[in-house]
Amino acid sequence: MSRIILGDYVTAPTRGAIATTPYQALETFELADFLAQWPGLQREALVLLGDDQRIHPSAYIHPSAIVGDDVIIGPDVKVHEFTTVRKGSILCAGAQVGFNCEVTAAVVGEDAVLGHRIGINRTVLGARTHLSASVTVAAINMTTDMRSSDREVIMRTPAGLFRSGTTQFGAVIGDDSQTGNNISIGPGAAIGRRCRITSGVTLAIRTVPDDCTITAPHAAETSIRRRRS
């Protein structure tokens, strides 16, 4: 069975108090182990930070935004109008979350940008990622009752199948990757560093190497090619 190491895709936080919590070791985790331990890591981080450091005083949160009690927000973060950040999310230093987004159980890396109408769930975004408008990262497989996920998220990798060990996993999107608009990702995607995903792509249950461009010229056809340096 294949393994996915988070450090092959994303960089751990280095700025602010978040970097003193268990998330400083993000790069060392194997993905399935991280997903299994994530709730405990979040609880430990909240205890270490305390109420006075959970939301950095330099962060800007629009009055119409909703932020959960267990959310951690680093320095210089911006959360804009009508956005909801909930359920154990971490917004690392310099991250920007745009208008009318929903962020649930996600790690948003340093200086990452979420544009308008972004929805991500059980997802790890690398540093300086940029998601444009109307990007959705889904975390559960289709089932007869979508209120209760019952199928483990399994992915195809060059080394074979990867078992996430959970029924809820959206994606890992690597450092410096960018998307167009109207894109659906997951459940179960690991996208390498510096990738570009063009508008209209649907991508799930697979890994993508670094430095790829992912396009969908037709609704039923998705292609991946390496970009020249």
Predicted confidence pLDDT, tens digits, the chain (229 residues): 689 999 999 999 999 999 999 999 999 999 999 999 999 999 999 999 998 899 999 999 999 999 999 999 999 999 999 999 998 999 999 999 999 999 999 999 999 999 999 999 999 999 999 999 999 999 988 777 767 778 899 999 999 999 999 999 999 999 999 999 999 999 999 999 999 999 999 999 999 999 999 998 654 556 677 777 6
Q: What is the pLDDT of residue 221?
A: 57
Q: What is the pLDDT of residue 37?
A: 97
φ/ψ of 134, rounded to 5, equals: 60, 55
DSSP state of 20: G
Q: What is the pLDDT of residue 155?
A: 94
Q: What is the pLDDT of residue 176?
A: 98
Q: Are 142 and 184 in contact (CB under 8 A)?
A: no
* Sole residue written with tokens 């995607």: 189
Q: What is the pLDDT of residue 222?
A: 62
Q: What is the pLDDT of residue 216?
A: 80
Q: What is the pLDDT of residue 145?
A: 74
**Cβ-Cβ contacts under 8 Å for 37 (sequence gap 6 or more):** 29
Q: What is the pLDDT of residue 147?
A: 75
Could you tell me the end-to-end alpha-carbon distance of the chain, in angstroms, rounded to an integer? 32
Q: Which of 147, 162, 88, 160 is nearest to 123 (CA)?
A: 88
Q: What is the pLDDT of residue 226?
A: 78
Q: What is the pLDDT of residue 218?
A: 55
